[in-house]
Structure 1
Amino acid sequence: MNNLSKGFRIFWIQLKREGLQMRVLSLFIIIGIFIYSYLEPVTVFSNTVNIGIAPWAFSHLTNDYICQIVFMSGAVYLFCTAPFQGENYFYTIYRSGRMWWQLGNIFYIIFMSFAYVGFILFTSMVSLLPHICFSNDWGKIWGTLAQTNAAAQFQIPFIVDRYIIGVFSPAEATTISFLLEFACVIWLGLIIYIFNYITHKPVGVIIGAFFVLLDVVISNSFSAKTFLISPVTLTQLKALSGVNVQYGLTLRYAALFFGISLICLIGICLTLGTGKRKVGRKGKIYG
């Protein structure tokens, strides 16, 4: 238990040093402005027809490829400074040990992923004020946007998918979308962390950016079966339906993909903490 507390101390240090940086706060502000502007046409539509909006925009935003590029690019930026080695790195790792340093960073990635996705969810609701109308069902606005061409008439930049409206309740769609989005952000964070740590260069950032864009690349150039290796695609409920099901793209597959891969990535991170790293005269880390 004492050793585990070292991991939490590292997490707390990283949260204060990395999580409260101006670049992180700026990222949250930019994402908030983007969501507000993206949902503004919906509020205009609501005001025009004088009908309140149920607060269930989140699952529709995460099923839009443009939103996902923005959200996941933000996630890459959020973790681009991995492996988070500050000025006191050598002192801290000497006191805590490499294993617990890695564990603390894993805690940090998980927490910031939750905070980031939670902020997106919260902002998607707040942006609908003052037209929001709390309801357990999708409501007339989302139903109309899914069933008619009102979205095109009011220049709403995303599609409200009939599949989501018809198959899932609002609570189900929001919960599942949140968990998938949360898992994907953690996944990207760990990928960036591992490759940046191993190479001592921002290779992880490049790989993370590749996976962010993979969804669009596959849509334009490759078979839908390739979506099986695209984590961003697996966060979109509409991608886990229709003809894609014949390729194995199902909600169950998405859950297994993230569950197994996250366990493996966390295991790799902890394994990295057991190796020895040499330090050069100028403080450069090798090995």
Structure 2
Amino acid sequence: MIRLQYILRIFRYKLLSRKFFFYVFFVGFSFWLFLNPLKQISNITGYGISPWGYPLLLSNVFFAVLFLGSAVYVFSDIPDCGKESMFHYIRLGRIKWGIVQLITIVFLALIITLLSFLVSVVTLLPNIVWEKNWGRIYYTIALTDASSQYELLFLSPYKILSHYKAIEALLMTIGMVFLVLTFLGVAMFSISIFFSNSIAIIFGEIFAISPLVVDNISQKTPIVQFFSPASWIGISNIGYEYNWDCPTMGYIIFVLCILIGIFSVMSLLKIKKKGIY
């Protein structure tokens, strides 16, 4: 059995590190930069802002690049080869150490996902209005020129507002972000094991900017969206009935779970065979 204390110790070390604090600051600033203009619209119109802007923001390709790039920064030191990690490596053995690292990645992905949603809500205070629908502000942005008038950095895609209920879109986005971040972390871990940490970071940065590239290419070649996991954090890139140019939710979950499984098994087999120290 893998002792829970080792997992908690590593997880606590990650969350209390200077790197994670810097990540929280950067994410907070990014959300403020994109969402603060909404408060101006709210103050002028007198409408409150519903707390469900997270799915709309993650569907913005420029914000997606910033968001994924910051996640790469968090995962950039996995596996940690410091003294603390070496101690765990010796105490647990190769395979158990690798499993602990993978579990840590999953928990980090979950924390990043939930924390980013929480930050998106806090950023809108005190203009938040707690309602289960999208609210007037997002419809105003979608149906008028308010985005250009108030210099918003993101749009409110009407196809999301019309096709999904607010809470449904939120839960879908949280699920997709969690799976995509888990894949990113596990893939970077595996690349670090097989090659080096530097190559893993290069992969991560290419992964982070891929939504921008795919967004331009997909206008003429929609099929590329089926091969771009980074683009799947935005539900505007998820297909539904009568919209088969994008991968469906089932396809995305299946592919991500398979890829996460493959990279995890490959990493453990490599660690078992040769180790890392």
Which TM-score applies when normalising by structure 2? 0.92
Question: Which SS does the other structure have where 2:48 is aligned?
Answer: coil
User: What residue number does 2:253 align with?
Assistant: 255
User: What residue number does 2:25 align with?
Assistant: 29
- Using the TM superposition, name which of 147-156 and 120-129 deviates more: 147-156
8 Å CA contact retained: 1:101, 1:273: no
- Measured at CA, do residues 221 and 171 of structure 1 come closer, stay the same or move farther in structure 2, by a change above 3 Å? closer
Question: Which SS does the other structure have where 1:215 is aligned?
Answer: helix
Residues 41-91 of structure 1: per-residue CA shift (max 9 Å, x gap): 101001100111111110011101111111100110001012112114443
In the aligned structure 1, how far is the partner of 2:131 from the partner of 2:141? Answer: 17
Gaps of 5+ in 2: none
CA apart distance, 1:126: 0.9
Gaps of 5+ in 1: 279-284
In the aligned structure 2, how far is the partner of 1:120 from the partner of 1:201? Answer: 26
Question: Which SS does the other structure have where 2:131 is aligned?
Answer: coil
Residue from 208, 211, 215 that aligns with 2:211 = 215
- Measured at CA, do residues 248 and 41 of structure 1 come closer, stay the same or move farther in structure 2, by a change above 3 Å? closer
User: What residue number does 1:141 align with?
Assistant: 137
User: What residue number does 2:58 align with?
Assistant: 62
Question: Which SS does the other structure have where 2:130 is aligned?
Answer: coil
1:93 correspondence with 2:92: no
Give the number of equivalent residue pairs.
275
- Measured at CA, do residues 90 and 55 of structure 1 come closer, stay the same or move farther in structure 2, by a change above 3 Å? closer
In the aligned structure 1, how far is the partner of 2:268 from the partner of 2:93? Answer: 12
In the aligned structure 1, how far is the partner of 2:246 from the partner of 2:127? Answer: 40
- Measured at CA, do residues 88 and 51 of structure 1 come closer, stay the same or move farther in structure 2, by a change above 3 Å? closer
CA apart distance, 1:193: 0.7
Q: Which amino acid aligns with 2:26?
A: I
8 Å CA contact retained: 1:14, 1:84: no
- Measured at CA, do residues 115 and 88 of structure 1 come closer, stay the same or move farther in structure 2, by a change above 3 Å? closer
8 Å CA contact retained: 2:183, 2:256: yes
Q: Which amino acid aligns with 1:232?
A: A
In the aligned structure 1, how far is the partner of 2:68 from the partner of 2:38? Answer: 23
CA RMSD of aligned residues (A): 2.0
Residues 170-196 of structure 1: per-residue CA shift (max 9 Å, x gap): 110000001101111111111111111
Equivalent residues in 2 for 1:237-256 (5 A)? Answer: 237-241=235-239, 245-247=243-245, 249-256=247-254
In the aligned structure 1, how far is the partner of 2:275 from the partner of 2:181? Answer: 28
User: What residue number does 1:111 align with?
Assistant: 107
8 Å CA contact retained: 1:10, 1:101: no
Q: Which amino acid aligns with 2:250?
A: R
User: What residue number does 1:17 align with?
Assistant: 13
CA apart distance, 1:242: 8.2
Which TM-score applies when normalising by structure 1? 0.89
8 Å CA contact retained: 1:180, 1:234: yes
- Using the TM superposition, name which of 224-233 and 179-188 deviates more: 224-233
Q: Which amino acid aligns with 1:169?
A: K
Q: Which amino acid aligns with 2:236?
A: K
Residues 188-243 of structure 1: per-residue CA shift (max 9 Å, x gap): 11111111122134211111111111221233346221121211112211122489
User: What residue number does 2:75 align with?
Assistant: 79
CA apart distance, 1:247: 4.1
- Percent identical residues: 21
User: What residue number does 2:159 align with?
Assistant: 163
